[in-house]
Structure formats: C-alpha cells, structure tokens
Amino acid sequence: MQVSGISVLFKGINFQRLLGGLWVTMRIALITIGLSVVFGLLFGLLMLSKNKVARAFCRLWLEIVRFMPQLVLLYVVYFGFARLFGWDLSGESSAVIVFTFWGTAELGDLIRGALTSIPAHQRESAAALGLTSRQIYRYILIPQTVRRLLPQAINLSTRIIKTTALVKMINVTEVLKVGQQIIGQFYRQPDAAFWVYFTIFLLYFLICWPISLLAGKLEKRWA
C-alpha cells in the first residue's frame, strides 16, 4: 500500500510551494549581495584611507563580523532592536540588514586585499611607459584587482546564499518552513520528511554549485 514519500513532492502545488519558499531566501540573498557590493566598495576604500579613525572603525566592524555567529546577529537585530529602540523590523528586513552588515565587511576586506596585493612595480612600470594616472587605473590596476577579487567575491556570494537559510530561525516562511508545513499535512506518509529535506538539500546544491564552479574556473584561468 505504501507509496514512496517522494510522491508527496508532486502532489498539488507542493513543489511550487517549495520553490516559492526558496525564492524568499534567494530574494534576501540577491538584495544583500547588491547592497554589499555598493557598501563593500566604500568599506574597502575606507580601510585603505589614511584616516586612523576610519580604519579603526572598519577594523572593529570586521572583528564583530568575524566573532559573532550570523544567527546571533539576526537575533540582536530582530529581537534586540525591537526592545532597545522599539523598531519592529520584519524578519526579511532584519535579515537584509544583518547579511549586508556581514557582506559589506567581508567584501570590503577582499577588495582591500586585492588592491594591496598588486605589486608597486606594476604601477611604476606603467608610469615608466608614460601612461597617465587614469590610464594606469584603467588598463593596469583595475583589471588586475578584478581578476584577484572576482573569484573570491563569487565564493562569498554562495556563502551568503547558504547563510540566508538561517532566516527560518527568525520566523520567515522560507523553504525549510514550507517543507515543514508540507510534512505536517502529509503526516500519514512517514518518509515524506526524508524526501522533502533531501529535495531542499538538492535545490540549494543546484543553485550554489554552478556558482562555485564558475568561481573555480575563473580562479584557475586568472591564477
């Protein structure tokens, strides 16, 4: 009489519901990545600035990101800010704030690393060819920085995508939550849970894996 629990996935609109849940986290990830690129650039330049206060500020920011689990930061913003400042932030906005806070610092640090890794003689030999300072940036420095940066930045974006799964813990109805709802509805189908979680696992893999492969390819090509 037993039908495999895998059939649950194809009952009604269950699969679409899972994808809808996944889209919730992907949307958070995409907004986060977009904001992190903008702020990360500023952060990276700030880290390289001559202003000591600005550098110390960045350092502190980076250390907080390094030491605090993202889940703790999510709790602080989602539950803590409501208490402290009376801000009633939705789960999704809290997530965007926290992940952008994190992504900005990490990407900024990558940008700083990429910029400082270009040896001084690259600039010097370009100048020796008589290039203007704008041309040096355009043809020598920026292309090399981008080549160092891009693979690492792409890897960071897969980490951001993976980490958005955490929004389940602050009551956002994302793919895991939808999965639990489906499992709850089909409690007569005991192995439904196995297949639902397995599917979610695969879905994440299918999103992140190609991106990782791309990063690996670029890294090899530009190494």
Position 186 contacts another protein (CB under 8 A): no
Position 182 contacts another protein (CB under 8 A): no
- What DSSP assignment string belongs to 156-192? HHHHHHHHGGGGGGGT---HHHHHHHHHHHTTTSTTH
Considering only 9-17, 63-71, 102-110, 132-140, which stretch makes contact with another protein by CB under 8 A?
63-71
Distance CA(42)–CA(173), nearest Å, equals 33
Smaller CB separation from another protein, 126 or 152: 152
Smaller CB separation from another protein, 69 or 130: 69
Position 208 contacts another protein (CB under 8 A): yes
Amino acid at 217: K
Position 19 contacts another protein (CB under 8 A): no
Structure tokens at 202: 């695969």
Smaller CB separation from another protein, 137 or 197: 197
Position 191 contacts another protein (CB under 8 A): yes
Position 222 contacts another protein (CB under 8 A): no
Q: Name residues whose C-beta falls within 8 Å of residue 151's C-beta, 6 or more positions apart in sequence.
A: 215, 216, 218, 219, 222
**Degrees to nearest 5, angle at CA 213 with 211 and 216:** 115
Q: Count the Cβ atoms, other than its own, within 10 Å of residue 213.
A: 11
Q: Give the dihedral sign, CA 173/98/208/63.
A: negative
- Applying CB under 8 A, among 19, 118, 162, 173 the residue interacting with another protein is 162
Q: Which residues bind another protein (CB under 8 A)?
A: 5, 66-72, 75-76, 79-80, 82-84, 158, 162-163, 165-166, 168-169, 176, 179, 183, 190-198, 200-201, 204-205, 208-209, 212
